[in-house]
Amino acid sequence: MSKQSFKIKDIFADNWDSFLKEGYSIRQSVLDNVAKIIHCGDPSLGHALYYCDKCGNVKYVGFTCKSRFCNSCGSKYIQDRSLSISRKLIRCPHRHLVFTIPKELRIYFRKNRQLLNVLFEASSNVILSWFHDLNKSESFKPGFVSTLHTFGRDLKWNPHIHMLLTEGASGNFTVWRKVSHISFIALRKRWQAALLDILSKHLPASFYTLKTFLFQNYTDGFYVNAPRKDYSNPLETIKYIIRYTGRPAMAQSRILDYDGSYVTFYYDRHEDNQRVEETIPVFEFFKRLIIHIHDHPFKTIRYYGLYAKQYKHSRQLYPMLSPNQRKFYERHSDWRSRLLLAFNIDCLACSHCGNTMKLLDIFISDGTNPYLANAPPASYNVLSMH
């Protein structure tokens, strides 16, 4: 017997109006994104019409919402980002770093979301200054991609930076110098100092008391994790990118039960990797999810060093993906190819005769188009096009 699956979209559709009636102060970006996912794939809001010229069968394909908050559209965003990032990468080993903050600081980023930019600024300053100090005349520049996550495994607010960093750098005179060792004791203290110093510029003078407390109680600095793993081949690197860049706060596969009032989900606890099941009211589930929706046009993925712009020796560095690999990934990045590769289903194959269906027309909802007054007839096949 197959496990019952629960869609976050359906949970919001069932309860969102009731949640809004509670009178919570909701950011506009949250209202926009939730509305998008509730109506994602609704053909009455826009669709493509496909026609089989062999048997005459017709298929409607509803347009999707393109929201990163949407679990299905978010996966497309991740794949598109993965391809974009992979094009920039240099063929060399990469290191995965995680810059964390103590729990005492989390509330500041929650109250003022603009401070999330400080996490990018401080972590990038730490890395760029460390490589610069290796040889100040060379001023070595690594390449790295930083991604912000605001969620922990239990969905609670826990902002931190994931970074994919080259184990090497290019200097003013040297094309490439391999750098595989980084002192993480020094890195943690640099991270602590950089973050607290920048925060001090944005917060009231009263923050000085907490700043002193954090230096006194975190004498080893703020935790930076950098597990040694080989990210030197394209496949492993792309797997990393897919896992850490832009993924939704919760995979729907983690939802074990939903009864209309409560949601039960699981997570693997970070401290001991033990599986934990948690049952919470639907409204609490919403609160934990929507705090991770960012305001437009906040960028959660940012490029630095060699990956931000062309440098003196950039043309002498080999790309991670060969021309043939790039062509393959680009060729298979459209919605039809992704479904074919993932599920072995050709969504444009006619369900009656197997012939490849052709695009007949596209309908865009503008509030006046009579063809979009109602959803397609129930007898037609309706899909979602990403």
Parallel, antiparallel or unpaired: strands 224-225 and 143-151: unpaired
Rg of the chain, C-alpha, whole Å: 24
Task: Kindly list the distances between the CA atom of residue 178 and the CA atoms of 79, 141, 233, 259, in Å, as whole numbers in the listed order.
Answer: 29, 12, 16, 55
Residue 273 buriedness (CB in 10 A; 0-12 / 13-18 / 19+): exposed
**DSSP bridge partners of 108:** none
Mean pLDDT for 196-221 is 98
| Average pLDDT of the residues of the chain | 85
Hey, what are 375's tokens? 């959803």
What is residue 170's DSSP assignment? B
Among the listed ranges 51-60, 143-152, 280-289, 336-345, which one has the minimum average pLDDT value? Answer: 336-345
Length of the chain: 386
| pLDDT tens sequence across 218-228 | 999 999 988 77
Hey, what are 46's tokens? 């826009």
pLDDT for the residue 322: 54
pLDDT for the residue 12: 97
Residue 189 Ramachandran class (φ > 0 left, ψ -120 to 50 alpha, else beta): alpha
pTM over cut 0.75: yes
Of the candidates 175, 140, 180, 179, the residue with the CA atom closest to the CA atom of residue 314:
175
Mean pLDDT for 298-323 is 78
| pLDDT tens sequence across 366-379 | 654 433 333 443 43
| pLDDT tens sequence across 100-148 | 999 999 999 999 999 999 999 999 999 999 999 999 999 999 999 999 9
Contact 379, 59 (CB under 8 A): no
The alpha carbon of residue 41 and the mean position of all alpha carbons in its chain are separated, in whole angstroms, by 21
pLDDT for the residue 195: 99
The set of residues, in sequence order, having a beta carbon less than 8 Å from that of 301 and lying 6+ positions away, is 81, 85, 145, 146, 147, 148, 245, 246
* pLDDT at residue 382 is higher than 50: no
Of the candidates 212, 194, 210, the residue with the CA atom closest to the CA atom of residue 108:
210
Domain boundaries, the chain: 8-67+345-385, 90-249+299-320
